[in-house]
Amino acid sequence: MTKEVFEYSDIESEFKVVAKKLPLHTLLNSEKIFLFDDPKRDRVWIWHGANTTTRMKYYAKKLAPTVRERYGIGFKITPVDEGIEPLEFNIMVKLEEEPDYDGTQKDLEVLESLFKEKFPPLAKIDIDFKLVENGITKIKFIMKEESVNELTIHRKYLQEVFDAGLLEISNLDGFPIFKPGVVDCFEFMGIFTKLYGNVLKFFNEHEF
């Protein structure tokens, strides 16, 4: 859940904490810039209203690291423009619901279509969504069996959990890594990952 929401003040050239409204998308205003602290996704989102100026965006971006330091120095600062918000942002502010699926072929085809619509640069990447769904099922099963909200796997053991079709061997260290686009598929389907050295952590969005 978002901890804080900040509004950029063009007069004072600083971010100020604003009272949160639920759902969060009710705060959005085309004349304003907001910053959302999003610990679930290890991100700080900077949302730009359609009518904000280039100067406002510049100073908001310049000030964002100062705000980020209060919550998580490793958080990724992600700019978002009104009208082209990514799915993760829309889910956070409750503009969109998390895609629901039960693993049937029809559902997987729909998810694949939605995924490629949301991420055009990845549309040409050959990803088997059935393998992705199988991987997610395994992660959620292990989490449920161990009664945990996150799962830690060393990269050298990825081949024991995930199908080889999702992996490739890194030329840098010889350990398995996910093929391009696989992590994006995981996040689209509710499982988030973070890499710590050679250790991968998986978080179930619905539980984390």
DSSP 6-21: EEEETTTTEEEE----
Per-residue pLDDT of 144-155, as tens digits, reads 878 888 889 999
Q: What is residue 1's predicted lDDT score, i.e. its pLDDT?
A: 52
* Cβ 143 vs Cβ 112: under 8 Å: no
Q: What values do phi and psi take at 193, rounded to 5?
A: -125, 155
Q: What is residue 41's predicted lDDT score, i.e. its pLDDT?
A: 75
Q: What is residue 123's predicted lDDT score, i.e. its pLDDT?
A: 59
Residue 207: pLDDT over 50: no
**Complete domains list, the chain, with CATH:** 5-92 (3.40.20.10), 105-204 (no CATH)
In the block, tokens 């949160």 appear at 20
The model carries a pTM of: 0.50
Q: Can you say whether the dihedral through the CA atoms of 52, 69, 204, 131 is positive or negative? A: positive
Which token pair is 69? 């330091």
Give the relative orientation of helices 105-118 and 129-146 as an angle to the nearest 10 degrees: 100
Q: What is residue 88's predicted lDDT score, i.e. its pLDDT?
A: 78
Q: What is residue 199's predicted lDDT score, i.e. its pLDDT?
A: 93
Q: What is residue 117's predicted lDDT score, i.e. its pLDDT?
A: 65
Window from 24-28, 77-81, 174-178, 188-192 with minimum mean pLDDT:
188-192
